[in-house]
Structure 1
Amino acid sequence: MKKILSLIFASSMVILSGCDGDFEELNKDPNAATAEGFNPAYLFTSAQLFSSRGDDGASLHYTETFVQHFATLSDAGTFDFFGDKYVYNKGGSESLWKNTFNAINGGSKLLEDAILLSKDKPEMSNLYNMARIWKTVIYHRMTDLYGDVPYSEANQGYTGTIYKPKYDTQKDIYYSMLSELEDATAKLDATKGPVAADIIYGGDVAKWKKFGYSMMLRLGMRLQKVEPQTAETWVKKAFAGGVFTSVDDNMYVRFPDKTGANQSLVNGESWTLSVSGVSPGKISATIFNYMKTRNDPRLKYMVAVYSDPAKASTKNTDPAVQKGMPNGFNLVTIKNDPSWDNTKDQHQYSGINRDVYAKLDGPRMCLTYGEVQYMLAEAVIRGWISGDAKALYESGVAGAMKNLAKYDASAVITDAEIAAYLTANPFLGVGDKEKAIEQINTQYWAATFMNGLEAYANVRRSGYPKLIPINYPSNETDGTYPRRLRYPEDEPVLNTANYNEAVARQGTDNFKTRVWWDKQ
């Protein structure tokens, strides 16, 4: 851990040194940094950490409530979990964009520089190709949430004097990302040794190859509605290349320290504090009831009631007192709901179990074995690859349940519990294709709890689970399910021509416009 932090501080100092007033330095060839002894691996480390930090505005407060993992009783405009009522909040809607393109600690700029400085250097080929794979992690989240975004010209203000980057179409971005994954993953070479700066897999080339092909699988599946033949082609390539084979392949970043002493360095504390303090966010009744009615063994580790949210000692995990909060209510309207107990306040509803999910040294999940197995099961159902859909589905359930132990060592679900769950909730089989796809993707939704960006993308892509939209007063969608977030408010001013071109091509800049792969 000290090694990770030293790498981060080293790269941060290099970045900040450009602000010391020595403007002659700005005229130097960026490639000269390597010649002078600077190692771009430092940038790669920082890019991994910064780009995987918890984005509380978009991922937690918007998408986690869009998919009804969380709910809140706070009224529109006065609360954090904006997606509960489909209302617009400038900071929340812009947060992923602003965090991604932040020049100091946004991740994308650091990564572009790492790619530039390691390109065409044989001794850095693994670093270069890992960075290219990581680039798809950053940009697939951006384009999935906003649609057309700066991509090919992004982060080139210094290296290319491009200050107003064009917005690439989502189709072009996806085609580029898939091609990059194919080329970069194939070129990873175990004979050239690991990349010590990698904080995900410790530079293990074999694991990076699995990750690269698993990302290809995710992006390929994303095209299922808009270009099913293209989707099938890439899914087959990913499957043939070799995807995750166990929970030990899960891709996540574990944050630096449990004391919180260095959290300000990566702004990671905002995510943790959003679910660990007196925040009004509660577990949505939608996911709570889905899991409770199936006697899901994950539930006992996921939720807790805190009679006083400010005190961890007031936690109660007794199933008899647990209940989820229905979405779309406020402190007045909830009193008409059958779930409300007039003798208690809003904290009668279950919150997240902080001892498992709200840890300063906890992981931020990006892609897991369980998700991969579910995607393969669906691909089999669609006839894209050969395999046993039932076995893949059951491996997905097992992987998703085993994944909880990655959050906390106490959250262990036994093989016996998993077997009992599968017996009580068997796979529906291939007899009814659509029912099987619904079952698979509803489990995917449960498996991506606390990974709102991915859960939201897959709900839109698959159509499952069939969530009941919220029609709260003054919502942004007229009571229909939201399809994207709005671009930052300063884009029409700072990048007028390119913003206008993107909006004219994609559709009105609002929550109702669908991104390319989400077309009906």
Structure 2
Amino acid sequence: MKNTIIFSSFLALLLVGCTSDDVNLDPHVVYNASPEPLITYAQKELSDYMTTPSVNENNFRLTMQYWQETTYVSESNYNFTGRNVSNNVWGDHYVNVLNNLNKAKEFIEQYQPVPSELSTWPAKKKNQLAIIDILSVYTFQTLVDTFGDVPYSQALNNDLFPLPAYDDDAKIYQDLISRLKIDINNLERGKGTFGPGDIIYGGDIGKWQKFGNSLLLKLGIAISDVNPSLAQSSINTAITGGVITDESQSGLFGYLAATANFNPLFENLIVSGRDDFFAGKPFVNFLNTTSDPRVSKYFQDVDGEYIGQTIGVAGNFTDFSAPGIFAYTLTTPGNLITHTEVAFYLAEAAARFGIGGNPEILYQNAVQASFREWGLTHQETQNYLTAHPYNAGNWKKSIGEQAWVAMYNHPVVSWNFYRRLDYPVLQAPPTAIANADGKVPVRLQYPTLEATTNGTNYAKAAAAIGGDKLTTKVFWDIH
């Protein structure tokens, strides 16, 4: 399967989404009668968010101290309100992704098959709706993990709920798990699906089954500390159903070299004409101290050395290591769920619950997956594992620190590992804004637009979660 983007310039023009003041309605989107362009656009927007280093949208490379800003260091010091970051994250997910997926669902449900399709359409329809819902589950999980309580049951229905209420984050998770199990069961190979508009898998139902089960594993792992019974049942179901087990099955979005369809890393590092980012000192020091060969893939050297800047402090671009060549490459794919990520979940499931095998072996498998992902050799992997073996006495440290290294190009997911496992141990810079209370943020604050346009429901949600603060933990983050 070849991942390609089928945008023509005209189609791209039709599908440009603009953030609306209303999370349920994007008046700027022009829909046509085919669901595939909407699927393409929603997948691209989801991948763009997970991938971009834009300080207006995704600052988790800074939060996880992988990168540091060169000149304007507000976001490194956790000032996310100056650029209305939460407004953009909210719009990315509700408007650009979920609203387009919902519209695609409507088109599929309204479609009237011609006589020759009557026998095949029901199964094909189920496949298409299942894929759409899997992507919706992924998106809602990201919103909950970012904000806590969010609009869910009343979201995406502007006619009935122009000012949607916020649902309890724990209950949303339970519903997402139930939805996902149904979606996976509804997928049936050989019965038709989307065509090339499905950029992630090109309509390969077998791979969508693995994606769905891997997402179920991710949901189960997330609630391990707060709902261990549901966590274990979800993990067992996912593993039995079959999760991603090699790199060829990873859920990736394939970018093109064409303008507007290249990787957003390239857009922000090259097209912008700016040198806004270089290596963060805590991460580079960890890589150097552990003699990690991935450092040469993650960063460029400065006269043979890899050098990071103190978090929260500006500096000259030429004095510190720039991001690696992958970030300056137009077609580097975007990560949604990778084999490496899933391998770390499997290691954690074994360490926590004794599910799925020997945690030491699964830890080694996860590190090996990361090394392969970055093109390093088996011998380099073995040398590294010999020097950094699994520590059963503190498995959270072993898995947490290695996941931090491995999720370097998947920072939103890295932030989840960090909050759940409490490793690595990161320190907020002394220059961080007062609202951070001297801590690395564990949540984004709600958008200011919500406070002004949906104020009553916003106020209820803020009170329910314990305050709309960077330090308020989402429901599954209890340590």
The equivalent position to 2:297 in structure 1, one of 295, 298, 301, is 301
Partner residue of 1:147?
148
The answer to whether structure 1 residue 48 and structure 2 residue 33 are counterparts is no
Alpha carbons of 1:216 and 1:101: their partners in 2 closer, same or farther (altered >3 Å)? same
Q: Output the CA distance in 1 between the equivalents of 2:144 and 2:266.
A: 25
Name the counterpart of 1:83: 76
Alpha-carbon separation, structure 2, partners of 1:183 and 1:399: 30
Shift, 1:50, TM fit:
1.8
**Aligned residue in 2 for 1:323:** 307
Q: CA 1:215–1:61 in structure 2 vs 1: closer, same or farther (change >3 Å)?
A: closer
Deviation at 1:130, TM superposition (A): 0.7
Call closer, same or farther: CA 1:503–1:149 in 2, change over 3 Å. same
CA apart distance, 1:287: 1.6
Question: 8 Å contact 1:60–1:452 — kept in the other structure?
Answer: no
Partner of 1:400: 370
The code of the aligned residue for 1:509 comes to D
The answer on 1:477 being equivalent to 2:436 is yes
Residue 55 of structure 1 and its aligned partner are, at CA, apart by: 4.1
Q: How many residues in Structure 1 have an aligned counterpart in Structure 2?
A: 451
**What's the offset of the Cα at 1:85?**
4.7
**Is the contact between residue 55 and residue 96 of structure 1 (CA under 8 Å) also seen in structure 2?**
no
Report the Cα distance in structure 2 between the residues aligned to 1:2 and 1:391, rounded to whole angstroms: 32
1:117 aligns with one of 97, 101, 107: 107
| CA-to-aligned-CA distance 1:262-318 (integer Å, 9 cap, x gap) | 34xxxx66543434453332111222122222222211121115xxxxxxxxxx5x5
The aligned residue for residue 65 of structure 2 is 68
- 1:121-132 to 2 correspondences below 5 Å: 122=122, 123-132=124-133
Provide the residue aligned with 2:287 in structure 1: 291
Bigger shift: residues 120-129 or 173-182: 120-129
Give the counterpart letter for 1:295 in structure 2. S
Aligned-partner Cα distance in 2 for 1:384–1:213: 19
CA contact (8 A) 1:57 1:95 kept: no
Q: Which of 332, 352, 358 matches 2:328?
A: 358
Partners of 1:42 and 1:187 in 2: CA distance: 23
Aligned 1:28-427 pairs, distance under 5 A: 38-53=33-48, 54-57=51-54, 62-74=59-71, 76-77=73-74, 82-85=75-78, 88-102=81-95, 106-119=96-109, 122=122, 123-157=124-158, 160-196=159-195, 197-255=197-255, 257-259=256-258, 261-263=259-261, 271-276=265-270, 277-305=273-301, 320-330=304-314, 345-353=316-324, 355-404=325-374, 412-427=375-390
Conservation of the 8 A alpha-carbon contact between 1:60 and 1:271: no
Provide structure 1 residue ranges, at least 5 long, that are not aligned to the other structure.
17-25, 27-32, 306-315, 332-344, 405-411
Q: Deviations over 1:384-418 (max 9, x none)?
A: 414121221111111112212xxxxxxx2122222
1:3/1:69 Cα in 2 relative to 1: closer, same or farther (>3 Å)?
A: closer
Question: How far apart are the structure 2 equivalents of 1:496 and 1:86?
Answer: 22
Q: In structure 2, list runs of 5 or more residues that go unmatched.
A: 18-26, 111-120
RMSD of aligned alpha carbons: 2.7
1:64 CA displacement: 1.4
Q: Per the alignment, in what secondary structure is the counterpart of residue 300 of structure 2?
A: strand
Classify 1:2/1:38 alpha carbon distance in 2 versus 1 (closer, same or farther; 3 Å): farther
CA contact (8 A) 2:125 2:193 kept: no
Identity of aligned residues (%): 26
TM-score by length of 2: 0.86
1:463 to partner: Cα distance = 0.8
TM-fit CA distance, 1:427: 2.2
Compare 288-297 and 68-77 and name the one that shifted more: 68-77
Q: What is the deviation of 1:84?
A: 4.2
Contact preservation (8 Å) 2:166, 2:457: yes
Deviation at 1:358?
Answer: 2.5
Corresponding residue of 1:508: 467
Q: What TM-score comes out, normalization by structure 1 length?
A: 0.80
How far the C-alpha of 1:330 sits from its partner, in A, is 4.1
Change (3 A) 1:150 1:57: farther
Sort the Cα spacing of 1:464 and 1:58 in 2 relative to 1 into closer, same or farther, 3 A. farther
CA distance 1:418–1:222, shift in 2 (3 Å): same
- For 1:161 and 1:8, the matched residues in 2 are separated by 35
* Residues 151, 165 of structure 2: 8 Å contact kept: yes
Q: How does 1:413-452 map to 2 (within 5 A)?
A: 413-428=376-391, 430=392, 432=393, 435-452=394-411
Contact persistence 2:348–2:359 (CA under 8 A): yes
CA positional deviation for 1:192: 0.2
Amino acid aligned to 1:455: S
Residue 58 of structure 1 contacts residue 95 of structure 1 at CA under 8 Å; is this kept in 2?
no
Q: Judging changes above 3 Å, is the alpha-carbon distance between structure 1 residues 125 and 59 closer, same or farther for their aligned structure 2 residues?
A: farther
| 1:189 to 1:93, Cα distance in 2 relative to 1, 3 A | same
Deviation at 1:198, TM superposition (A): 1.3
Matched, 1:460 2:419: yes
Of structures 1 and 2, the larger Rg is shown by 1
Q: How many Å separate the matches in 1 of 2:72 and 2:170?
A: 37
For 1:219 and 1:509, locate their aligned partners in 2 and report how far apart those are by CA, in whole Å.
24
